[in-house]
């Protein structure tokens, strides 16, 4: 079986090098830019790939929705297996792409779309074949972990570290997708969908921004509770058969494994009824790590591994059915029946709430932010 | 394809339950003890399995060398795929079993033989398809991690915690295989063999015992160096094309991920040229975690995944080619040219050596132990 790669950017070129070096020959690369080193492997015409019956697997590393979506749909309809590193595409068209893969009897893999080089999604699906997943959670964004780690280790403030992350190329010029949670929300939606055999949409994942965290928050949380902060996505199966899915900064015990995940590394965990907790740690981004994850999915397919794409849509998302305590730092107090404890320091209230519904807290946060746009919110993990 | 399980002990019965619950029906279970709940699934005659052409995969969970070895060899020769949770068997007959699997065109899997529920060996082999592994290391024994964690957290001494571990069923009545390193040496040998496409034998893995560690060692290491201790196996590819493989207590920075691996959990890591560091964390033992790992290997095979068992034996083991610093606590000093620094406290010397060859240090340790049977040795990880 021959291989085609769509897009010769950072991830596509990394996967190309890795596959060829390890005996998996790439027959065609689609890119509209010139790449002399590719010789006649390069094409700018997708039909050269679609109509090549030797090509059995198409690895999409273009990113974004179009033309990636059109190309992937055509590949699936042509009976070619598809691998993708594109979280935006997978999240937006999860149902359509799985249905098409199923109808055409081909395998759809997208390990490299979440967690960079970490074989997370692949292992999540493999584990779930023989287990009931009850919860997933993880540090899935290297930029925000780099920022938090630098703030905590060097006692620096958010904006200063963000500027450094941008200078180092870890953060985009417009950092919103990272620091406001869209990137983690997509990764959480995809992970939750696979975990619970359902379809979680990006907009169903309630999301707090990390943007308002301050040096004072970190110091207070450390001194008062001996806890640290990480920015994480969660998918939880509730007792009533619904699932909850959200992205929040979280207060973690200093002894938690995630508290030792430093720099731009990622760690994602699953909890299975039989297997217990399994955690996966590695580089969440980068040409060769993410290229390796894309290449490994391709290699599995070339080596004959096939996977079903059948979905049963068992669960609905309901963030009313999950409760936890929250940390709030704001310039006003919420209703007293919500408060477990608070202190006032330098005109700011540092509050721990009673257990609250995730949905109620995310609504409350929106209303607090209207009068106090610098307020900060975080979940509390035991 | 139908499934047979050999041995209905802790792991075999766990895998049986998990497979049946998840739609992978087990046709036969071999055990010489009565198990009424199994009805006519149970047999005491291996020929019932061997001669059943519907049974395509045999999962061995008997443990020990015989009759497991004879049964597995017969299954491979009969063209049946084999899955095993038996580290002793895999380590002892690594070459023979891989050769037989290869000759008979069947898949040989043994994920559950190392790391309990952690899909470590499976992911190690999968990662290595598209990468060059340069190092593996890990906490692979839950008993010794439980002992170290309790000694560190509760400032207790070795014998007291070992007794508790025995009472809790975490440690055997004869704990030597755990605390003297044989268990980790076998797991390190198997992991190194897969990592470096070679055959590392149990006896080639140089091993320090954990037995002599004291409360004083742990306090000194924490106060003097801000480090902690874990008991780990290592496989390292040297620059000259040899590999080194050893088991040692190690001094780790308190910020190391392994320093947060508590209780009887395991964490095993690989370093790949492309993918960087990947770490896998979970339950290193137990009926359902290990049963899940065995069941997952079986499920992969039933679902059509096939793996090559071809070995190329590229590397030889040479512990002269790897150097590191060591911590020694003894009642005499070694030759002064070996010493980087030392202190004498309460008639004991606490020594950090210069960088030494692993083989030289393991020889030195043997000679020191002849005159000071309570001396303790540990590698120093940066």
Domains of chain B are 2-117+287-302 (3.40.50.720), 125-283+322-380 (3.30.360.10)
Q: Which of residues 240-299 of A touch B (CB under 8 A)?
A: 255-257, 259-262, 269, 272-283, 286, 288-289, 291-293, 295-296, 299
**Whole-number pLDDT of residue B312:** 76
Give the predicted TM-score (pTM) of the model. Answer: 0.98
B12-29 average pLDDT score: 98
Residue count (chain B): 382
Q: For residue A204, what are its two tokens?
A: 């169903």
Kindly report the backbone phi and psi dihedral angles of residue B276, in degrees, each rounded to the nearest multiple of 5, phi listed first: 75, -150
What whole-number distance in Å separates Cα of residue A25 and Cα of residue A17?
10
Q: For residue A3, what are its two tokens?
A: 């291989």
For residue A343, the distance in angstroms to the closest alpha carbon of chain B comes to 31
pLDDT class for A169, splitting at 50, 70, 90? confident
Residue B310 has pLDDT above 90, yes or no: no
In this complex, the residue of A255, A262, A299 whose CB is nearest that of residue B129 is: A299
Do A292 and A157 contact (CB within 8 A), yes or no?
no
Do residue B276 and residue A282 have CB atoms under 8 angstroms apart?
yes
**Whole-number pLDDT of residue B309:** 84
- Which of helix, strand or coil describes residue A290? helix
Q: Which residues does chain A have within 8 Å of residue B24's beta carbon, measured at their own beta carbons?
A: 130
For the residues of B30-47, what is the DSSP string, one character each? E-SS--GGGGGGEES-TH
**Whole-number pLDDT of residue A268:** 99
What whole-number distance in Å separates Cα of residue A200 and Cα of residue B244?
47
What whole-number distance in Å separates Cα of residue A328 and Cα of residue A320?
19
**Whole-number pLDDT of residue B214:** 98
- Which of helix, strand or coil describes residue A295? helix
Q: Tokens 């020990």 — which residue?
A: B64
Residue to test with chain B: of A115, A274, A291, most B Cβ within 10 A:
A274
Q: Which residues does chain A have within 8 Å of residue B280's beta carbon, measured at their own beta carbons?
A: 278-281
Q: What is the mean pLDDT of chain B?
A: 97
B312 touches chain A (CB under 8 A): no
Q: Which residues does chain B have within 8 Å of residue A300's beta carbon, measured at their own beta carbons?
A: 126, 305
pLDDT class for A115, splitting at 50, 70, 90? very high
**Whole-number pLDDT of residue A323:** 97
Residue in A closest to B282 by C-alpha: A278
Answer whether the bond into residue B267 is a cis peptide, omega within 30°: no
Q: Which residues does chain A have within 8 Å of residue B276's beta carbon, measured at their own beta carbons?
A: 117, 282-283, 286, 288-289
Residue A275 has pLDDT above 90, yes or no: yes
In this complex, the residue of A117, A278, A299 whose CB is nearest that of residue B278 is: A117
Residue to test with chain A: of B5, B22, B130, B294, most A Cβ within 10 A:
B130
What whole-number distance in Å separates Cα of residue A87 and Cα of residue A266?
16
Residue A30 has pLDDT above 90, yes or no: yes
**Whole-number pLDDT of residue A147:** 97
For the residues of A245-275, what is the DSSP string, one character each? EEEEEEEEETTSGGGG--TTEEEEEEEETTT
Q: Label residue A207 left, alpha or beta by phi (over 0 means left) and psi (-120 to 50 means alpha).
A: beta
In this complex, the residue of B117, B129, B295 whose CB is nearest that of residue A22 is: B129
Q: Sort A174 into a burial class: Cβ within 10 Å, 0-12 / 13-18 / 19+.
A: exposed
Best CA proximity match to B147, nearest among B208, B211, B79, B103: B211
Do residue B292 and residue A274 have CB atoms under 8 angstroms apart?
yes
**Whole-number pLDDT of residue B308:** 86
Span between the terminal Cα atoms of chain A, in Å = 49
**Whole-number pLDDT of residue A315:** 85
**Whole-number pLDDT of residue B314:** 77
Structure confidence by residue, pLDDT tens digits, B209-246: 999 999 999 999 999 999 999 999 999 999 998 999 99
Q: What is the mean pLDDT of chain A?
A: 97
For residue A281, the distance in angstroms to the closest alpha carbon of chain B comes to 5
B305 touches chain A (CB under 8 A): yes
pLDDT class for A106, splitting at 50, 70, 90? very high
Q: Which of residues 101-160 of A touch B (CB under 8 A)?
A: 117-119, 123, 126-127, 129-131
Q: For residue B25, what are its two tokens?
A: 């029906």
Best CA proximity match to B268, nearest among B382, B139, B146: B139
Neighbouring residues of B79: CB distance < 8 A, sequence distance ≥ 6: B104, B105, B106
**Whole-number pLDDT of residue A309:** 84
Four-residue CA torsion sign, A74, A77, A78, A84: positive
Residue A246 has pLDDT above 80, yes or no: yes
Within 10 angstroms of residue B43's Cβ, the number of other Cβ atoms is: 18
Helix (H) and strand (E) counts in chain A = 13, 18
Structure confidence by residue, pLDDT tens digits, A303-356: 999 988 887 777 899 999 999 999 999 999 999 999 999 999 999 999 999 999
Span between the terminal Cα atoms of chain B, in Å = 49
Four-residue CA torsion sign, B144, B145, B146, B148: positive
In this complex, the residue of B127, B129, B281 whose CB is nearest that of residue A279 is: B281
What ipTM score was computed for the predicted complex, to two decimals? 0.97
- Which of helix, strand or coil describes residue A81? strand
A92 touches chain B (CB under 8 A): no
In this complex, the residue of A117, A255, A280 whose CB is nearest that of residue B260 is: A255
What whole-number distance in Å separates Cα of residue A351 and Cα of residue A343?
7
- Measured CA to CA in angstroms, residue A356 lies from A99, A317, A323, A338 at distances of 37, 17, 5, 8
Q: Tokens 């080639």 — which residue?
A: B204
**Whole-number pLDDT of residue B382:** 80
Structure confidence by residue, pLDDT tens digits, A173-230: 999 999 999 999 999 999 999 999 999 999 999 999 999 999 999 999 999 999 999 9
For the residues of B298-332, what is the DSSP string, one character each? HHHHHTT------------B-TTS-EE-EEEEESS
Q: In whole angstroms, what separates CA B221 from the centre of its chain?
A: 26
Tally A–B CB contacts below 8 A. Answer: 148
Bridge partner list, B109: B83
Residue to test with chain A: of B274, B280, B301, B307, most A Cβ within 10 A:
B274
Do A284 and A116 contact (CB within 8 A), yes or no?
yes
Do A242 and A322 contact (CB within 8 A), yes or no?
no
Cα-based torsion angle of the residue sequence B69, B72, B74, B78 in order, rounded to the nearest 10 degrees: -170
For residue A117, the distance in angstroms to the closest alpha carbon of chain B comes to 6
Do residue A272 and residue B292 have CB atoms under 8 angstroms apart?
yes
Residue to test with chain B: of A130, A272, A293, most B Cβ within 10 A:
A130
Residue in A closest to B267 by C-alpha: A279
Do residue A281 and residue B126 have CB atoms under 8 angstroms apart?
no
Best CA proximity match to A325, nearest among A363, A365, A354: A354
B14 touches chain A (CB under 8 A): yes
**Whole-number pLDDT of residue A18:** 98
**Whole-number pLDDT of residue A132:** 97
Q: Tokens 């046709």 — which residue?
A: B27
**Whole-number pLDDT of residue A319:** 96
Q: Sort B66 into a burial class: Cβ within 10 Å, 0-12 / 13-18 / 19+.
A: exposed
What percentage of chain B carries pLDDT values higher than 70?
A: 100
Structure confidence by residue, pLDDT tens digits, B81-116: 999 999 999 999 999 999 999 999 999 999 999 999
What whole-number distance in Å separates Cα of residue A353 and Cα of residue B101?
59
For residue B12, the distance in angstroms to the closest alpha carbon of chain A comes to 14
Q: Label residue B350 left, alpha or beta by phi (over 0 means left) and psi (-120 to 50 means alpha).
A: beta
């Amino acid at each position: 079986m021959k291989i085609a790669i769509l897009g010769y950017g950072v991830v596509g070129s990394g996967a190309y090098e890795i596959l060829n070096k390890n005996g998996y020959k790439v027959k065609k690369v689609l890119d509209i830019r010139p790449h002399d080193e590719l010789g006649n492997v390069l094409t700018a015409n997708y039909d050269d790939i679609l109509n090549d019956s030797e090509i059995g697997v198409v690895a999409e590393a273009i990113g974004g929705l179009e033309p990636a979506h059109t190309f992937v749909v055509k590949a699936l309809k042509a009976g070619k297996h598809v691998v993708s590193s594109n979280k935006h595409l997978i999240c937006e068209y999860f149902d359509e792409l799985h249905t098409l893969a199923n109808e055409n009897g081909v395998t759809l893999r997208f390990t490299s779309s979440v967690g960079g080089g970490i074989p997370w999604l692949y292992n999540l699906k493999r584990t779930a074949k023989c287990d009931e997943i009850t919860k997933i959670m993880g540090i899935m964004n290297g930029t925000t972990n780099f920022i938090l780690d630098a703030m905590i280790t060097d006692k620096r403030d958010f904006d200063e570290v963000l500027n450094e992350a941008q200078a180092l190329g870890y953060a985009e010029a417009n950092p919103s997708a990272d620091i406001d949670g869209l990137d983690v929300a997509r990764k959480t939606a995809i992970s939750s969908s696979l975990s619970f055999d359902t379809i979680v949409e990006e907009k169903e994942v309630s999301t707090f921004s990390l943007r308002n965290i301050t040096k004072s928050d970190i110091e207070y949380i450390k001194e008062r509770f001996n806890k640290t902060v990480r920015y994480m996505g969660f998918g939880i199966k509730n007792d009533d058969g619904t699932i909850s899915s959200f992205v929040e900064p979280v207060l973690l015990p200093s002894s938690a494994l995630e508290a030792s995940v430093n720099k731009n590394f990622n760690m994602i965990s699953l909890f299975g009824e039989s297997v217990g907790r399994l955690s996966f740690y590695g580089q969440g981004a980068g040409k060769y790590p993410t290229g390796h994850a894309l290449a490994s999915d391709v290699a599995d397919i070339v080596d004959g591994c096939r996977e079903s794409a059948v979905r049963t849509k068992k669960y609905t998302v309901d963030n009313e059915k999950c409760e936890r305590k929250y940390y709030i730092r704001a310039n006003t107090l919420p209703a007293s029946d919500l408060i477990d404890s608070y202190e006032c320091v330098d005109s700011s209230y540092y509050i721990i709430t009673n257990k609250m519904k995730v949905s109620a807290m995310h609504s409350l946060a929106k209303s607090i932010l209207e009068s106090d746009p610098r307020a900060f919110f975080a979940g509390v993990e035991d």
